[in-house]
A and B are shown apart, each in its own frame.
Chain A
Amino acid sequence: MSLVILIIFTCLGISVGFCILGALSYFMIVEPFPYQLSMVATQFFKGVASFPLLAIPMFILAGELMNESGITSRIIVFANLLVGRMKAGLALVNIWASVIFAGLSGSAIADTSALGRVFIPEMEKRGYPKDFAAAITAASSVIGPIIPPSIPVIIYALTVTGVSVPGLFMAGVVPGLLLAVALSIYVMVFKSHHETPQALNKNFKEIMNIIVQCAIPIGMPIFIVGSILFGIVTPTEAASFAVAYALVVGLFIFKELKFKSLPNIFARSMRDAAIIMFIIAAVAAANWLLNYNRIPNMITDFSLQYMNSKVMYLIFIIFIFFIVGLFLEGIAAMLVLVPILHPIGVSLGVDPTHLGIIIILNLMIGLITPPMGLCLFVADSIANVGIPRLAKQIFPLLLVELLVLVLITFVPDLSLFLPKLLGLLK
């Protein structure tokens, strides 16, 4: 009956956290002792009472502060310096600016919003169709949560036992870059006719100035990932240092962040973190109940009767997460499905770090697929071309990303090579 309530509430459009709490409360009320209503709050509290989980609000705050510090324009100038003279120059700048931005915000939606405001009108001026400009901005923003530091990676590491955050961070680097390269090849081959390459009219002094201006924000992800990687700090501590770094850069170096805007940024970040952590806590409470009744074990045993090969499991994972990602927000989908599907993968010999990257990339692709693609909505709110036109342009880009996903799924070394090289995985 609880499951029926969960499904009905979900279909009614009630928020995910409420649906889980509602179904759980019903179960605790109707079932005899030892189940009691107070267990809902007990398990909810336990679900969020974790120090590593505090990395989430801290990283969100660091990203928000960086966004407000005027770094977007500096990143674009730097990306332009790197790839602006090539074929389809501005589209390439858009993609590679996303790669750099990924290291700062770790959020695909923030990426689409910040870069879209600059790139969509600018690409239109240079001759690109507006709908393509919006599509490439949304498609490239998927790179954000793959390249470290990444909030979905931290959540995955906390959901699954035996996975290290540094290992997962490093496992995301090659797939993220691969995604950027694949999108770059696509725009160079199919979209280069929209724009003629432009010469770099900058002297050595100007180039050095651009590099110095961009080195300051780029230093942040290097500092964060480096310090976590070498075991100097925990992810939560690193995130707090990232906030301090962003405050110093925004307030005293770039001077574009104002003291009076800090309360709004802090409050907004807490609210956005709360939305994610509410689901984490509700899912933790539901998982406690599932584990108490050994449901994941039963599902694993049942699934293993039919799913007896690694390849079949990986195909199933791609399929199920792609379908779920079409309709549900990525982190919520991950929190609900990973605790159930992860043990099956481990039983079949799938590396949990590799599995994490497949799932995260898969769900992030869901951000650009209609009908629930949030990045698509954000890009459309800037370009104002309508979702059908945008969907038509995003389709080939989606195929490119799915191709990369398949490659990453069936060539595990693409994800695992770097963490193994750095001794983060056996």
Chain B
Amino acid sequence: MFKISYHMDKVLKKITNFLSYFFASGCFLSMFFLFFIIFTNSSKRYILGDSYEWGEELSIYISIYGIMFGIAWAYLQDRHVKFDILVRIMSKKYQLFFEYLTDCVSFVISVLFSYSGYMFMIKRGDVDASSLLTTSQWLSEITSIKYFLILGKLYPYYFSMCFGGFILAVSVLIRFLNRIFNQEVSTKEVF
């Protein structure tokens, strides 16, 4: 255990709270749009007989971003599923050591995952997102903003892997700092 100065403590708490809020907001927005798209799309199909062609694909991509926010937030709150019975039977001192070790290993895995996601995006991102292509072209035409065309490619969706690995690494790092400075991470409601 390390001692922490008053100012460091405040900064760490602020960063932790900001991250909790950021991850929770990502989770909320993903879940909201996920529900909204699936529900309106299915209702439209049953009422009007047709659905948005992008409905299924977009909801899948939104859910993947939601998963990334969720796993980062869950790590910050120490909620992941693990087999920790062997560690729990050890003395407090060893438990703490293994917790540090777990954070370090998880950090390396998150960084590797982020890099893997980056490579994946670079290699395959240029492929068209079949059901979103027409909509992105239409959006670009009516707004005259050519950047909308990127939504018709797989780059923004494959980016979720790289982004997910990155926020997970940040979450692991902050959790680790909270652990070594013996700070509790709040698991209370964020909003």
Write the residues of chain A forming the contact surface with B, with a CB cutoff of 8 angstroms: 9-18, 21-22, 25, 28, 36-42, 44-45, 48-51, 53-54, 57-58, 61, 233, 236-237, 239-241, 243-244, 260, 263-264, 266-275, 277-279, 281, 327-329, 331-332, 371-372
What CA separation (Å) do A309 and B73 show in the bound complex? 47
What CA separation (Å) do A285 and B126 show in the bound complex? 22
Residues of B within 8 A of A22 (CB): 105, 108-109, 112
Partner of A49, one of B25, B64, B83, B99: B64
What CA separation (Å) do A132 and B115 show in the bound complex? 52
**Given A13-B102, A50-B60, A278-B71, A240-B38 contact (CB < 8 Å):** yes
B105, A266: Cβ atoms under 8 Å? no
B70, A273: Cβ atoms under 8 Å? yes
What CA separation (Å) do A327 and B171 show in the bound complex? 26
A54, B80: Cβ atoms under 8 Å? no
**Given A11-B83, A49-B60, A244-B39 contact (CB < 8 Å):** yes
Chain A residue at minimal CB-CB distance from B62: A54
What CA separation (Å) do A279 and B85 show in the bound complex? 19
B116 at the interface (CB under 8 A from A): yes
B81, A16: Cβ atoms under 8 Å? yes
Chain A residue at minimal CB-CB distance from B70: A274
Q: Interface of chain A, helix or strand or loop or mixed?
A: helix
Of residues 30 through 59 on chain B, the ones whose CB sits less than 8 Å from some CB of chain A are 30-32, 34-35, 38-39, 42, 56, 59
Most buried by A among B31, B38, B106, B117: B31
**Given A263-B191, A270-B69, A271-B73, A36-B119 contact (CB < 8 Å):** yes
Partner of A270, one of B70, B79, B112, B123: B70
B124 at the interface (CB under 8 A from A): yes
- Please name the 9 residue pairs, one residue from A and one from B, whose CB atoms are nearest each other, closest first: A274-B70, A15-B80, A13-B84, A38-B119, A270-B27, A41-B120, A237-B42, A267-B28, A13-B87
A278, B113: Cβ atoms under 8 Å? no
**Given A17-B71, A57-B66, A243-B39, A12-B101 contact (CB < 8 Å):** yes
A237, B38: Cβ atoms under 8 Å? yes
Beyond the given A13-B86, A40-B113, could you list 19 further A-B residue pairs with CB under 8 A, ordered by the A residue number? A11-B86, A13-B83, A13-B87, A15-B81, A16-B82, A17-B71, A17-B80, A22-B109, A28-B116, A38-B120, A42-B124, A51-B56, A54-B63, A61-B35, A264-B24, A267-B31, A277-B63, A329-B81, A332-B81
What CA separation (Å) do A14 and B103 show in the bound complex? 8
Residues of B within 8 A of A263 (CB): 28, 191
Most buried by A among B32, B56, B67, B160: B67
